[in-house]
Structure formats: C-alpha cells, structure tokens
Amino acid sequence: MSEAFDLGPAPQRVPVDAQLVATLVARQFPKWRDLPVHPVADDGWDNHTFRLGDALSVRTPSAAAYALAVEKEHRWLPRLAPQLPLPVPVPVATGRPDAGYPFPWSVYRWLAGEPLATAPVADPGRLAEDLAGFLLALRAVDPEGGPGPGLHDWFRGGPLRTFDGLATEALHALRGRVDLDLDLARAVWTDALETPWDGVRTWFHGDLAPGNLLVRDGRLGAVIDFGTCGVGDPACDVAAAWTLFDPAGRQVFRDRLQLDDDTWTRGRGWALWKTLTTVASSTGRDDGTAARSLAVLLGLLEDARSPR
C-alpha cells in the first residue's frame, strides 16, 4: 500500500502589490525600471501575477511552498516549449529575495489571451481536441531527469493515496450537507485508489484549471502556470475531462488521448478528491465556487453510474 503524506496546513500567503514589484524590478533589473506595473485580474492562488510593460509579466510566489517551483520552471520550461504545439511561458529572468519579499521570483514573456474561465469558446469539442493534442505532445517529451512527485508539485504524478485523508475528511464533512450520493463517491474514490499504474513516467502539467488555459480567437491559444508540472503518472491531467468538459467534450478528450480504462479511473479519482475538498471547504460561500464544484461532482458521479 502506498504511503499517505501529511500535507500539513495551508501555506501562509505573503501579500504583494504593484509598488513592491516595481521596487524589485528597479533594484534588480534597472533596464525595465521605467516599465509600468499592473496587477493581473484573477491572478490565481500560488502566485501573484503582474503585467510589466506590454511584453513581460512578473510572477511572485505567494508562499514558501509555491516558491519551490521557481527553479523548476526556469530549468525545464525552455526545454519543453520548443516541443509543444501551443505557447507556454518562457522565463527571461530570475529575481532574488529583496525589499522585504522573501522568495525568488520570475520575469516571463507575456502571453496574449483571455483565461478560459471568462472567455467564450467557439467549439468546445475543438477545445477538448486541442488540449488533448497538447497533452500528447507534452507526454512525448523525454522524461529523463525530470522532477518526480514532491512538495514542489503537491505530489502530482504520485499515488492518489497521498490525498486519501483529505478525501475522507471531505466525505465526512459533506454528509447531510449536500444532495450528493456520497456512498457512490466513496466507491468511486476506492476504485481509483485500487487501480494500478503501469509505471510509465511521462511529463504532466498538473493543474489544467480554466485560469491556466488562454483562449485566442475562440480557440485554445496557450497553456500557462507550470508550477505543478513534473514527471510521473499523467492521470492527474485527466481530471480535466470532468472539470472542463461536458459529456460530449469528455468523450472527445478521452478518444484523442486514447486513454485506457485504468488511467481514466485514476483521472476520475484526481477530479473527485479535488472537487470534494473544494465543496467541503467552500459550502456556504456565495462566490459560486461550491456550486461549480458540485456541478462537476454530479457529472462525475453520473458518469460512474453509466461507464463507457
């Protein structure tokens, strides 16, 4: 049986504003000191993101655990980018702790596009096709020497049992609070835990959230935020089948990736634990987070009742 890791409490986030970023840039990269700095709306959780002029962006990790990804991204993204069919972030400079900010930070080329979370998509089936094609290319990159599962990627690519405690706690917390077949959810989770991986290591992205997919002209235009990327079991990326797509898009995604039943089952487990914990932690909030995750769970469980 695989070991379950103690992921500990949520990291303490460090606030960062445009003035601090301007100070960091001016002190460490004076050639860019006159470029305006503006925060990016809805910039995510792991990093604070700022626009630096028209062609650059600055990403400052929000906590020590997220700063572990900086060196990884700077080492591997320049190697991955030329082998991928869509643009990905390309680092151009690494900043050091300074001016009261305690972590390394990054300057990237700016990638144009609107996050999928807010952008209209002309053809959802084409989106599923394009994302699957991107993942196939990513998986085809030589994994030799790539970073295995660890805290840097929150154990993406490793065994699902890492998250058994979190999933079990969420199932208990939701009992009697939501109209959800929690017995089926437990069965789906157990099935995912017990489904073996063949051990073939490939590259994965690790966080195909709507905010990390950029849309241009109605189509997938870029994939960003590789902080959770690594090498291992790619089933973590299969979670996107439920978190991003309706049943028709899900089928396109699965067919294009040519996923076997075991990888599909583990991928469903990745989607399940994440959405379960999101619903459990956000129930009662009015920002729509719980409702969106609950809708994903309902679709996931419906799939489990009538498998392919």
Q: Name the range with the highest mean pLDDT among 9-18, 239-248, 288-297.
A: 239-248
Answer whether 0.85 is exceeded by the pTM: yes
Q: Which residue has the tokens 């099935």?
A: 191
Q: 242 — alpha (psi -120 to 50), left (phi > 0) or beta?
A: alpha
pLDDT at 306: 83
Which residues are within 8 A (CB) of 143 and not within 5 positions of it... i.e. 6 or more apart? 201, 202, 203, 231
Question: 26 — alpha (psi -120 to 50), left (phi > 0) or beta?
Answer: alpha
Q: Phi/psi of residue 50, each to 5°? A: -135, 145
> Where do you find CATH 3.30.200.20 in the chain?
18-110
Residues in the chain: 308
Residues 6+ apart with CB under 8 A from 218: 120, 121, 122, 123
| Number of neighbours of residue 284 by Cβ within 10 angstroms | 7
Q: Where in the chain is the domain with CATH 3.90.1200.10?
A: 115-305
In this structure, which topology does domain 115-305 adopt according to CATH? Aminoglycoside 3'-phosphotransferase; Chain: A, domain 2 (3.90.1200)
Please compute the mean of the pLDDT values over residues 108-129 and round it to a whole number.
Answer: 95
Report the alpha-carbon distance of residue 153 to residue 72 in Å, rounded. 10
Compute the average pLDDT of residues 273-289: 84
Q: Rounded mean pLDDT of the chain?
A: 94
Q: What is the mean pLDDT of residues 218-234?
A: 97
pLDDT (0 to 100) of residue 45: 83
pLDDT tens profile 166-194? 999 999 999 998 889 999 999 999 999 99
4: confidence class by pLDDT, cuts 50, 70, 90? very low
For residue 283, name the pLDDT band (cuts at 50, 70, 90). low
pLDDT category at 285 given cuts 50, 70, 90 is low
Q: Which CATH number fits domain 18-110: 3.40.50.720, 3.30.70.1150, 3.40.50.2300, 3.30.200.20?
A: 3.30.200.20
Could you tell me if 245 and 300 are in contact, meaning their C-beta atoms sit under 8 angstroms apart? no
- DSSP secondary structure, 83-109, as one string: GSSS----EEEEE-SBTTB-S-EEEEE
